[in-house]
Amino acid sequence: MSKLSLIIKREYLTRVRKKSFILGTLLAPVGLLIYMLVVFGLTKYQGGNEIKVVVLDDAKMIQQIPDEQGVRFIPAGTKTLEELKEEVKQNQIDGVLRVPPLANFKQKEHTVFYYSEDKLAPDKSNLIERRIAGKIKEFKMDSLKLDAEQLKQLESEVSIDPESINGKEDTQSKYTAGIGLAVGGIMMFLLFFMVLMYGQMVMRSVMEEKTNRIVEVMMSSVRPFDLMMGKIIGAGLVGLTQVVAWVVLSGAVSILVPMVMGFDAPPPTSIAGAPEIDPEMVQGTGLQIMSELSRQNWPLITFSFVLYFLGGYFIYASMFAAVGSAMGDDLGEGQALVWPATLPLVLAFYIVSMAGWRNPDSGLMVFASIFPLFSPVVMPFRMAFNPPWWQVAISLAMVIGTAILFVWLAGRIYRVGILMYGKKVTFKELGKWLFYKG
Amino acid sequence: MILSVQNVVKTYGTYRAVNNVSLDVPKGSVFGLLGPNGAGKTSLIRMITTITAPDEGVIKLDGEKLNARSPEKIGYMPEERGLYKKMKVGEQLLYLAQLKGLSKHQAVEAIDYWMVKFDIKDWWPKKIEDLSKGMQQKIQFIATILHRPELLILDEPFTGLDPINTNLIKDEIRQLNESGISIIFSTHRMEQVEEMCDHIVLINKGQNVLYGEVQAIKKQYKQNLYRVETEGVLPTNIPDRFTEVSRGKNAVTYQLHDESQSNELLKAFLQKDTRVTKFEEILPTFNEIFIKRVEETDQEGAE
């Protein structure tokens, strides 16, 4: 095994075995798991036991309503309201729902009365309202001899479809901008977070070796550049491991939990666009978002995420490695060196969150997505809005070039700094180190 | 020669840490690298261990210019030493040995050998941070020699060790030396230099100011001092050509013009009634030589 791969292996394994890493990696999916359990538990929770509701319907508008979500609808038959109230008192049933006849067919608002000892829970109250409204609608249609099919044909849905006038095929819809923002935002946040977190991990690890004094022993076995690169690559792999673990575990949780909990995904009929559209499922929107998401160029987005992560990570991790090597045992003293390495990243984050979402193609955004200290965070955000390919090409070339340059520069600072003790280091000093020989 | 340093210069910014140093370390020797603090010893060692490269001059290990394979032939225990605190003893040793070019199998074998030898077989799963400082130092020593270097460089190897462990490490160093490993030994403890080294170099202000075999240097710096110890009262009227330097109750020290006079001095004593119990030449200690030579070169620099 080469020395570099030995170093990478050690750096990787010691981190991955750490309790804090395992905890951090498991915490996100476990958090999701708990969240889902709570949500499912709450939806499953019927607000108490099943209630029996007798429907007293003088006008015979309502036929049988199927039992649902803890509400059992029972037709009143020949019983009178007074008799039913008595049954409520004797706890044979939970409530009586009296549906008065309609004054005329134009009446829109209609009030029904519920007699009970216990208050009706809000979710059950909503459900009953919707079901009764549905039945009244059917009754009206029947009475007016309207054809349900024809009525449905009268309904129209309108959405703006932005078209490019350049004649190129455009597949945008009214959801494109929103989806772009969401996808771009998530990408940007993930990159910002990962680069900062793992970059600083490299810095701490460099400082630790220096204060531990192991570094001189290491230097007599391996080249300083190998040690630095081993550290950067090892920590980077830990970062990728964590992201992959998060994605896989969260995916598993969100698939397995509903299965185990017996929570039905929406029944197949409703997905196929069943005639009876449930008002609580904004299904059309859901489908459109799904199709919009699937229309995103995922291979390109994933590819650019990885490239920009690697580019950005190498740029910032090498800066942090150089800073770490120059710092002594005292973290406080080194703060002056740390902020210049953090600032551009934070600035890029601000540019996107302040200006980016309003107009992803503004001049500032174009500049920020090409400037290599910003672009690893900014360009992945813009990727969701189909930026011109030449801007992407320039941006990528600059990120890769800058990453190589920064790694080289950091290597030159690192090899001097790592063996330097008891000296407060300034930027001027760092500059001088660049030109030291051997 | 296991190591040959030729006209080596190392400059940091405007500070010349090593200024044209040349020296040869004979194969199989224990070579003392001496010098006051800040003399350039560490800078020189860092170049020999390939941590840094000389600005000028050449360093050859076993006749070959230092190259990428050289670190595998060198074992270096720096004065400022340390280990990965969170790592287990075994993992740590395995890692360092593999970085020195041993295969995993070879490394495990070597680690087992040394752990048995130092009677610390069951330490493999212990964390470094749970060991005492002296124990850590033992591990550090093992880490330095696991790959059987041809040249072993030890910088103050005994600091922080109790007398028992000092002797243990000392014995190991001797055995390693007897098995053919050359050793460069850097220390401020002059009694250790006299005890262990056969060759030395003294560096001051980045320059080689004294260099050679230990015995030859002692001869070179001797002042023909002879000390006579007697039983009973010291005799008087010893001839004037023997200059008396100091006198105690039963002992007297003379300075001779020439070492060939030593027999005459003894004869003069034998002619007296007093019984001589001891007669010896007083050679300078390395402490004295060290201080003398450093002061001399400091003055040369000041002039």
DSSP-derived secondary structure for chain B: --EEEEEEEEEETTEEEEEEEEEEE-TT-EEEEE--TTSSHHHHHHHHTTSS--SEEEEEETTEE--TTGGGGEEEE-SS----TTSBHHHHHHHHHHHTT--HHHHHHHHHHHHHHTT-GGGTTSBGGGS-HHHHHHHHHHHHHTT--SEEEEESTTTT--HHHHHHHHHHHHHHHHTT-EEEEE-S-HHHHHHH-SEEEEEETTEEEEEEEHHHHHHHT---EEEEEEESSPP----TTSEEEEE-SSEEEEE-SSGGGHHHHHHHHHTSSSEEEEEEEEPPPHHHHHHHHHHHHHHHHH-
The answer on B149 and B96 residing in a single domain is yes
ipTM over 0.85: no
Summarised one tens digit per residue, pLDDT across range A31-43 is: 878 887 887 777 6
In the predicted structure, residue A267 carries a pLDDT above the cut 60: no
Which of A119-128, A352-361, B100-109 is predicted most confidently?
A: B100-109
Q: What is the mean pLDDT of residues B10-16?
A: 85
Under 8 Å CB-to-CB from B284, ≥6 apart: which residues? Answer: B218, B221, B222, B223, B292
Q: To the nearest 10°, the Cα dihedral for A324, A328, A333, A334?
A: -10
pLDDT tier, B37 (very low <50, low <70, confident <90, very high otherwise): confident
Per the domain annotation, does B236 fall within a domain? yes
Look at B84 and A212 and tell me if their CB atoms are within 8 Å.
yes
Phi, psi of B152 (to 5 degrees): -115, 125
Least Cα separation, residue B76 to chain A (angstroms): 7
The per-residue pLDDT for A183 is: 78
Read off the tokens for A355.
């200006």
Per the domain annotation, does A344 fall within a domain? yes
Read off the tokens for A415.
């090899």
Least Cα separation, residue B233 to chain A (angstroms): 59
The per-residue pLDDT for A45 is: 59
The answer on A429 and A346 residing in a single domain is yes
Q: How does DSSP classify residue A165?
A: T
Instruction: Look at residue A54 and give its three-state secondary structure.
Output: strand
B70: nearest CA partner in chain A = A221
The answer on A205 and A80 residing in a single domain is no
The answer on B183 and B232 residing in a single domain is no
In the predicted structure, residue A169 carries a pLDDT above the cut 60: no
* Structural domain boundaries, residue A69: 52-154
In the predicted structure, residue A5 carries a pLDDT above the cut 90: yes
Look at B82 and A7 and tell me if their CB atoms are within 8 Å.
no
Neighbours of A25 (CB within 10 A): 19
CB B44 within 8 Å of CB B5: yes
Domain boundary among A86, A121, A154: A154
Rounded CA gap, B38 and B15, in Å? 12
Query: How many inter-chain contacts (A to B, CB under 8 Å) are there?
Result: 68
Out of A54-58, A402-406, B104-108, B155-159, least confident range: A54-58
Q: What is the mean pLDDT of chain A?
A: 80
The per-residue pLDDT for A270 is: 37
Q: What is the largest CA-CA distance in chain A?
A: 104
Phi, psi of B54 (to 5 degrees): -70, 150
The answer on B255 and B173 residing in a single domain is no
Q: What is the mean pLDDT of residues A323-333?
A: 75
Look at B143 and A421 and tell me if their CB atoms are within 8 Å.
no
pLDDT tier, A282 (very low <50, low <70, confident <90, very high otherwise): very low
* The Cα angle at residue B228 between residues B223 and B232, in degrees rounded to 5: 155
The per-residue pLDDT for B21 is: 93
Q: What percent of chain A has pLDDT over 90?
A: 19
Phi, psi of B234 (to 5 degrees): -70, 140
Amino acid letter for position A327 = M
Under 8 Å CB-to-CB from B288, ≥6 apart: which residues? Answer: B221
Instruction: State the burial class of residue A102 (Cβ atoms within 10 Å of its Cβ: 0-12, 13-18, 19+).
Output: middle
Per the domain annotation, does B132 fall within a domain? yes
Rounded CA gap, A238 and A12, in Å? 6
Q: What is the mean pLDDT of residues A221-240?
A: 93
pLDDT tier, B146 (very low <50, low <70, confident <90, very high otherwise): very high
List chain B residues with CB under 8 Å of A217.
Answer: 76-78, 81-83, 96, 140, 143
The answer on A347 and A226 residing in a single domain is yes
The answer on B255 and B118 residing in a single domain is no
Per the domain annotation, does B153 fall within a domain? yes
The domain total for chain B is 2
The domain total for chain A is 2
Element (H, E) at A73: strand A71-75
Per the domain annotation, does A230 fall within a domain? yes
Q: What is the mean pLDDT of residues A171-192?
A: 74
Per the domain annotation, does B294 fall within a domain? no
**Higher pLDDT pick, B185 / B274:** B185
Out of A131-140, A401-410, B77-86, least confident range: A131-140
In the predicted structure, residue A414 carries a pLDDT above the cut 90: yes
In the predicted structure, residue A278 carries a pLDDT above the cut 60: no
In the predicted structure, residue B30 carries a pLDDT above the cut 90: yes
List chain A residues with CB under 8 Å of B74.
Answer: 220
The per-residue pLDDT for B97 is: 95
Terminal CA-to-CA distance of chain B, rounded, Å?
Answer: 36
* Structural domain boundaries, residue B125: 3-213
List chain A residues with CB under 8 Å of B81.
Answer: 213-214, 216-217
Domain boundary among A104, A137, A154: A154
Q: What is the mean pLDDT of residues B221-237?
A: 84
Q: What is the mean pLDDT of residues B134-158?
A: 92
Rounded CA gap, A375 and A431, in Å? 25
Q: What is the mean pLDDT of residues B151-158?
A: 92
In the predicted structure, residue B247 carries a pLDDT above the cut 70: yes
The per-residue pLDDT for A49 is: 67
CB B40 within 8 Å of CB B203: yes
In the predicted structure, residue A10 carries a pLDDT above the cut 90: yes
Neighbours of A179 (CB within 10 A): 18
pLDDT tier, A272 (very low <50, low <70, confident <90, very high otherwise): very low
Out of A175-184, A195-204, A383-392, least confident range: A175-184
List chain B residues with CB under 8 Å of A221.
Answer: 71, 96, 99-100
Look at A7 and B99 and tell me if their CB atoms are within 8 Å.
yes
Summarised one tens digit per residue, pLDDT across range B192-201 is: 888 899 999 9
Classify strands B199-204 and B3-12 as parallel, antiparallel or unpaired: unpaired
In the predicted structure, residue A47 carries a pLDDT above the cut 60: no
The answer on B74 and B197 residing in a single domain is yes
The answer on B255 and B165 residing in a single domain is no
In the predicted structure, residue A215 carries a pLDDT above the cut 50: yes
The per-residue pLDDT for A194 is: 87
Domain boundary among B213, B232, B251: B213
The answer on B277 and B153 residing in a single domain is no
Read off the tokens for A81.
């309201």
List chain B residues with CB under 8 Å of A436.
Answer: 12-13
Element (H, E) at A98: strand A95-99
Out of A154-168, A385-399, B145-159, B259-273, least confident range: A154-168
Per the domain annotation, does A1 fall within a domain? no
In the predicted structure, residue B181 carries a pLDDT above the cut 80: yes
Rounded CA gap, A213 and B13, in Å? 24
Instruction: Count CA within 13 A, CB hemisphere, residue A350.
Output: 6
Least Cα separation, residue B92 to chain A (angstroms): 10
User: What are A116's strand-pairing partners?
Assistant: A95
Look at B51 and A436 and tell me if their CB atoms are within 8 Å.
no
Which of A278-282, B47-51, B79-83 is predicted most confidently?
A: B47-51
The per-residue pLDDT for A180 is: 74
The answer on B182 and B41 residing in a single domain is yes
CB B226 within 8 Å of CB B257: no
In the predicted structure, residue A287 carries a pLDDT above the cut 80: no
pLDDT tier, A46 (very low <50, low <70, confident <90, very high otherwise): low
Per the domain annotation, does A36 fall within a domain? no
The per-residue pLDDT for A173 is: 55
Rounded CA gap, A314 and A405, in Å? 10
pLDDT tier, B161 (very low <50, low <70, confident <90, very high otherwise): confident
The per-residue pLDDT for A268 is: 39
Q: What is the mean pLDDT of residues A61-68?
A: 75
Rounded CA gap, B231 and A277, in Å? 124
Read off the tokens for B292.
């003398």
B48: nearest CA partner in chain A = A220
Nearest to A320 by CA among A301, A345, A337, A296: A337
Summarised one tens digit per residue, pLDDT across range B62-72 is: 999 999 889 99
Instruction: Count CA within 13 A, CB hemisphere, residue A109.
Output: 1
Rounded CA gap, B111 and B232, in Å? 60
**Higher pLDDT pick, B135 / A286:** B135
Residue burial A57-79, b: 16+ Cβ < 10 Å; e: rest: beeebbeebeeeebbebbebeee
Read off the tokens for A336.
């002056």
The answer on A147 and A188 residing in a single domain is no
**Higher pLDDT pick, A294 / B104:** B104
Neighbours of A221 (CB within 10 A): 28
Per the domain annotation, does A274 fall within a domain? no
CATH of the domain at B271: 3.30.70
The per-residue pLDDT for A55 is: 84
The answer on B274 and B206 residing in a single domain is no
The answer on B273 and B129 residing in a single domain is no
The answer on B236 and B163 residing in a single domain is no
Out of A98-102, A423-427, B272-276, least confident range: A423-427
Q: What is the mean pLDDT of residues A359-374?
A: 89
